[in-house]
């Protein structure tokens, strides 16, 4: 061994190493090569196989070098076109040869043609079963993969990981029969295979959903066995929690009180909390985090709050300082831009416990950071962090040496659709702030064609004249950061000219964090009326006096991002407006996105729509989403099956432990680390 071939490496790239991997690498679709279609029966876009004689074959030089041939059967002619070709292909298509051609016909300039069809000899017997088409990677031929899968399947039946009782109760097909039916399907089964309603598909999807349920249950049980500091709520008037509550300039909303209670109860347990705090933008998560931190401090522990960007972390620092420092609590600040001396001091304060709270960016999880007694780790915008980063923070916990954990609170303002949250984040308890603080007026969203830019500028003028502030978000330029920056600078200059008397500020990603902080502070204090920004302001920025948000080229942004941006306004009592400027023509998806935003300000509804438009893959970091575990089942389409799998999981955990282990061994495939986060 030791000598991996290029093909093996390609297969490894697909995650194919062990026989188990191969047998569960299932076809995307099937091609029916068992029959020959007549040329006259071809339909554009529908895969087909025809057989005929080569009438013409030539290399054309223009517009670019390509091989063009014509094949005819008794019913008609079809063109073949190869943009890249080998001499062997040219020989294969010598005039007069009888060939078998497979591919997807499309309407060409001179009738139907197939681009890059597969060409074979007409002498071979037709196959008896359908031909599976597998997900592949560049340079790996279907035939090679097919052979490897065939070898892995072997002759012996694969054992069934499900006890007979379980199979009978949920009317599940046999495992071995199912995978063979999927790899070597008969013609009769084609419709139900394609629609994925076939019993074999049902079995595979069930297995996958079951594995997910089992693995999450196992992770949950393991968490309950780990220790964590016990930090019950303190309610005495002298407790930090109560003094903090008393000094807040507002009363908590009902939803905030509820989630504070949920979090507080978790922290009182002797095993680590793992709770996701979800709440739409502006729902008031920060104060909830502060109350959790206060509870840790009341119990003699430290709390850390980590945010993904310097801007956001700084804002948390400002809020926390405002709340905690008057109460005599010291906060250490750590970020990439903290100078050596300040950093040393912060590290010392964290290590001695003098600083009960630490706020910062990823700098908080570096090796040099040693906490005196960390009891609670809070991450904001949790989806922006990788599993590894969250684990690293956890490992700094007070009980880490005895293998204990730390209580974790993860906040997310990018609402995870309920359907995803329920099924994917099973080892995450979810608290939801489903109500905005009182006194907010809803944001009005307007869609405005870019040609009406002057009206938008007039609107800004008007808002500023009334003492309000506004944001102007510059277009996203995906291809080039430099261009994006240039656009922001140009916009800034133009708006300054167009709006005399208006104090305009500019903030973008290329500014140092000190410069950014200065601009932001100016905006916060009302010294800047209009803040021109790139998407750096996307998350978390909180300036209640800002009531107008203009987003240029809104069609280039994703739904979630637009919702986040829009959430920067509507934080005070003034009526807020979000103007989405777009440039025509709009794609279908862009139209759907803008319409959704126009119609709704409900983050959860928007998230659901986003899920529909984009699919779950992009939603969260793949590793955190658990989507990686679901290759075959679909959380929406297979909701009923997921419910059955949940039931089966509970039963197996109680009565069939050995089967649980076997089933996980087959399905987990080295993705166990996902469970640890």
Q: Which residues bind ligand ADP (CB under 6 A)?
A: 250, 252-253, 256, 279, 281-287, 413, 437, 540, 542, 544, 571
Which residue number, 210 or 551, has a Cβ lying nearer to ligand ADP?
Answer: 551
The site partner of 284 among Mg ion, ligand ADP, none (C-beta below 5 to 8 Å per kind) is ligand ADP
The site partner of 544 among Mg ion, ligand ADP, none (C-beta below 5 to 8 Å per kind) is ligand ADP
Which residue number, 540 or 626, has a Cβ lying nearer to Mg ion?
Answer: 540
With CB under 5 A as the contact rule, which of the stretches 129-137, 333-341, 414-422, 538-546 interacts with Mg ion? 538-546
Which residue number, 215 or 601, has a Cβ lying nearer to ligand ADP?
Answer: 601
- Least separation in angstroms between CB 532 and ligand ADP: 22
DSSP symbol at 37: B
The CA distance from 90 to 100, in Å, is 15
The site partner of 161 among ligand ADP, Mg ion, none (C-beta below 5 to 8 Å per kind) is none
Tell me the residue nearest to ligand ADP as measured from the CB.
284
The whole-angstrom distance between residue 488's C-alpha and the CA centroid of its chain comes to 28
Q: Helices marked H in 55-123 — which ranges?
A: 87-92
The site partner of 412 among Mg ion, ligand ADP, none (C-beta below 5 to 8 Å per kind) is none
Estimate the crossing angle of helix 142-153 against helix 175-183, to 10 degrees. Answer: 160
- Least separation in angstroms between CB 442 and ligand ADP: 15
Which residue number, 163 or 540, has a Cβ lying nearer to Mg ion?
Answer: 540
Which residue number, 108 or 522, has a Cβ lying nearer to ligand ADP?
Answer: 522
Question: Is 415 near Mg ion (CB under 5 A)?
Answer: no
- Least separation in angstroms between CB 289 and ligand ADP: 8
The CA distance from 390 to 379, in Å, is 8
DSSP symbol at 583: -
Among 21, 16, 23, residue whose Cα is nearest residue 180? 23
The site partner of 250 among Mg ion, ligand ADP, none (C-beta below 5 to 8 Å per kind) is ligand ADP
Across the beta sheet with 48-60, the strand order is: 105-108, 111-115, 76-82, 66-73, 48-60, 98-103, 118-121
Which residue number, 287 or 554, has a Cβ lying nearer to ligand ADP?
Answer: 287
Which residue number, 256 or 362, has a Cβ lying nearer to ligand ADP?
Answer: 256
The site partner of 105 among Mg ion, ligand ADP, none (C-beta below 5 to 8 Å per kind) is none
- Least separation in angstroms between CB 541 and ligand ADP: 9
The site partner of 437 among ligand ADP, Mg ion, none (C-beta below 5 to 8 Å per kind) is ligand ADP
501 SS3 class: coil
Mark 498-537 with x for binding to Mg ion (rule: CB under 5 A) and - for no binding.
----------------------------------------
The site partner of 80 among ligand ADP, Mg ion, none (C-beta below 5 to 8 Å per kind) is none
Which residue number, 213 or 286, has a Cβ lying nearer to ligand ADP?
Answer: 286
Tell me the residue nearest to Mg ion as measured from the CB.
540
The answer to whether 91 touches 119, Cβ cutoff 8 Å, is no
Among 554, 603, 613, residue whose Cα is nearest residue 578? 554
DSSP symbol at 545: T
Q: Helices marked H in 110-198 — which ranges?
A: 142-153, 164-169, 175-183, 190-194
Which residue number, 79 or 567, has a Cβ lying nearer to ligand ADP?
Answer: 567
The CA distance from 460 to 446, in Å, is 14
The CA distance from 268 to 266, in Å, is 5
The answer to whether 397 touches 377, Cβ cutoff 8 Å, is yes
- Least separation in angstroms between CB 315 and ligand ADP: 8
Largest Cα separation within the chain, whole Å, is 97
- Least separation in angstroms between CB 572 and Mg ion: 16
What is the secondary structure of 401-446 as a DSSP string?
A: GGT---EEEEEESSPPPHHHHHHH-TTSEEEEE-SPPTTPPPPEEE
The CA distance from 641 to 209, in Å, is 8
- Least separation in angstroms between CB 251 and ligand ADP: 6
- Least separation in angstroms between CB 571 and ligand ADP: 5
Which residue number, 475 or 540, has a Cβ lying nearer to Mg ion?
Answer: 540
Collect all residues with Cβ–Cβ distance below 8 Å to 568 and sequence separation of at least 6. Answer: 281, 471, 537, 541, 542, 543, 546, 549
Which residue number, 279 or 375, has a Cβ lying nearer to Mg ion?
Answer: 279
The whole-angstrom distance between residue 29's C-alpha and the CA centroid of its chain comes to 26
The CA distance from 48 to 295, in Å, is 68
Count of residues binding Mg ion (CB under 5 A)? 1
Q: What is the dihedral of CA 229, 234, 240, 243, to 10 degrees?
A: 160
- Least separation in angstroms between CB 540 and Mg ion: 4
Which residue number, 286 or 596, has a Cβ lying nearer to ligand ADP?
Answer: 286
Among 10, 30, 12, 254, residue whose Cα is nearest residue 129? 30
- Least separation in angstroms between CB 379 and ligand ADP: 13
Among 299, 242, 288, 229, residue whose Cα is nearest residue 263? 288
The site partner of 283 among ligand ADP, Mg ion, none (C-beta below 5 to 8 Å per kind) is ligand ADP
- Tell which one of 105, 229, 417, 540 touches Mg ion (CB under 5 A): 540
- Least separation in angstroms between CB 551 and ligand ADP: 18
The site partner of 27 among Mg ion, ligand ADP, none (C-beta below 5 to 8 Å per kind) is none
| Residue 207 main-chain phi, psi, to 5 deg | -55, -40
Which residue number, 101 or 411, has a Cβ lying nearer to ligand ADP?
Answer: 411
The site partner of 468 among ligand ADP, Mg ion, none (C-beta below 5 to 8 Å per kind) is none
- Least separation in angstroms between CB 250 and ligand ADP: 4
The site partner of 213 among Mg ion, ligand ADP, none (C-beta below 5 to 8 Å per kind) is none
The CA distance from 15 to 24, in Å, is 11
CB neighbourhood size of 557 (10 A): 24
Among 375, 338, 368, 333, residue whose Cα is nearest residue 351? 368
Which residue number, 443 or 590, has a Cβ lying nearer to ligand ADP?
Answer: 443
- Least separation in angstroms between CB 614 and ligand ADP: 22
Per-residue H/E/C for 370-404 = CCCCEEEEEECCHHHCCHHHHHHHHCCCCCHHHCC
- Least separation in angstroms between CB 276 and ligand ADP: 13
Contacts with Mg ion, residue ranges (CB under 5 A): 540
């Amino acid at each position: 061994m030791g000598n991996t071939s290029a093909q093996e490496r390609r297969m490894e790239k697909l995650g194919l190493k062990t026989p188990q991997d191969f047998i569960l690498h299932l076809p995307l679709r099937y091609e029916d090569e068992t029959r020959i279609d007549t040329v006259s029966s071809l339909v554009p876009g529908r895969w087909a196989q025809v057989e005929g004689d080569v009438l013409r074959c030539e290399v054309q030089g223009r517009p670019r070098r390509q091989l063009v041939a014509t094949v005819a059967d008794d019913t008609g002619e079809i063109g073949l076109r190869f943009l890249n070709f080998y001499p062997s292909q040219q020989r294969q298509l010598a005039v007069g040869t009888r060939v078998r051609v497979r591919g997807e016909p499309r309407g060409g300039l001179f009738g139907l043609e197939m681009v890059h069809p597969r060409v074979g000899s007409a002498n071979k017997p037709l196959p008896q079963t359908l031909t599976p088409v597998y997900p592949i990677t560049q340079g790996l031929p279907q035939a090679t993969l097919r052979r490897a899968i065939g070898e892995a399947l072997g002759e012996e039946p694969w054992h069934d990981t499900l006890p007979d009782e379980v199979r009978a109760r949920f009317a599940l097909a046999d495992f071995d029969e199912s995978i063979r039916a999927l790899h070597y399907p008969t013609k009769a089964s084609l419709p139900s295979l394609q629609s994925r309603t076939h019993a074999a598909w049902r079995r595979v999807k069930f297995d996958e959903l079951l594995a997910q349920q089992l693995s999450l249950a196992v992770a949950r049980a393991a968490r309950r066995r780990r220790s964590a500091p016990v930090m019950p709520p303190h309610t005495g008037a002298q407790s930090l929690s109560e003094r903090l509550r008393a000094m807040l300039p507002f009363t908590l909303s009902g939803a905030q009180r509820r989630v504070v209670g949920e979090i507080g109860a978790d922290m009182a347990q002797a095993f680590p909390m793992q709770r996701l705090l979800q709440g739409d933008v502006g729902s008031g998560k920060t104060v909830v985090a502060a109350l959790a931190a206060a509870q840790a401090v009341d119990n003699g522990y430290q709390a850390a709050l980590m945010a993904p960007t310097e801007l956001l972390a700084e804002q948390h620092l400002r809020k926390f300082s405002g709340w905690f420092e008057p109460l005599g609590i010291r906060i250490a600040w750590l970020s990439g831009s903290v100078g050596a001396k300040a950093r040393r001091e912060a590290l010392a304060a964290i290590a001695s416990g003098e600083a009960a709270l630490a706020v910062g960016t990823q700098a908080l999880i570096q090796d040099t950071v040693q906490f005196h007694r960390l009891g609670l780790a809070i991450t904001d915008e949790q989806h922006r962090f990788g599993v590894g980063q969250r684990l690293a923070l956890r490992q700094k916990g007070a009980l880490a040496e005895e293998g204990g954990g730390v209580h974790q609170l993860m906040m997310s303002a990018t609402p995870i659709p309920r359907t995803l949250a329920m099924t994917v984040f099973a080892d995450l308890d979810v608290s939801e702030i489903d109500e905005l603080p009182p006194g907010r007026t809803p944001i009005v969203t307007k869609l405005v064609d870019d040609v009406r830019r002057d009206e938008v500028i007039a609107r800004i003028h008007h808002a500023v004249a009334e003492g309000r502030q506004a944001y102007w978000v510059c277009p996203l330029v995906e291809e080039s950061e430099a261009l994006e920056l240039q656009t922001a600078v140009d916009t800034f200059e133009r708006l300054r000219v167009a709006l005399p008397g208006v104090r305009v500020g500019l903030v973008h990603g290329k500014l140092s964090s000190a410069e950014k902080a200065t601009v932001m502070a100016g905006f916060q204090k009302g010294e800047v009326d209009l803040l021109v920004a790139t998407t750096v302001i996307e998350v978390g920025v909180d300036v209640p006096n800002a009531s107008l948000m203009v987003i240029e080229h809104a069609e280039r942004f994703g739904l979630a991002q637009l919702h986040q941006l829009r959430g920067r306004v509507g934080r005070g009592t003034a009526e807020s407006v979000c103007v989405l400027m777009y440039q025509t023509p709009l794609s279908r998806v862009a139209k759907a996105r803008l319409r959704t935003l126009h119609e709704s300000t409900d983050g959860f509804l928007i998230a659901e729509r986003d899920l529909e438009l984009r699919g779950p893959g992009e939603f969260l970091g793949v590793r955190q989403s658990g989507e990686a575990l679901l290759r075959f089942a679909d959380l929406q389409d297979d909701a009923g099956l997921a419910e059955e799998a949940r039931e089966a999981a509970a039963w197996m955990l109680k009565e069939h432990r050995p089967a649980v282990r076997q089933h996980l061994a087959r399905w987990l495939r080295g993705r166990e680390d996902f469970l640890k986060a």
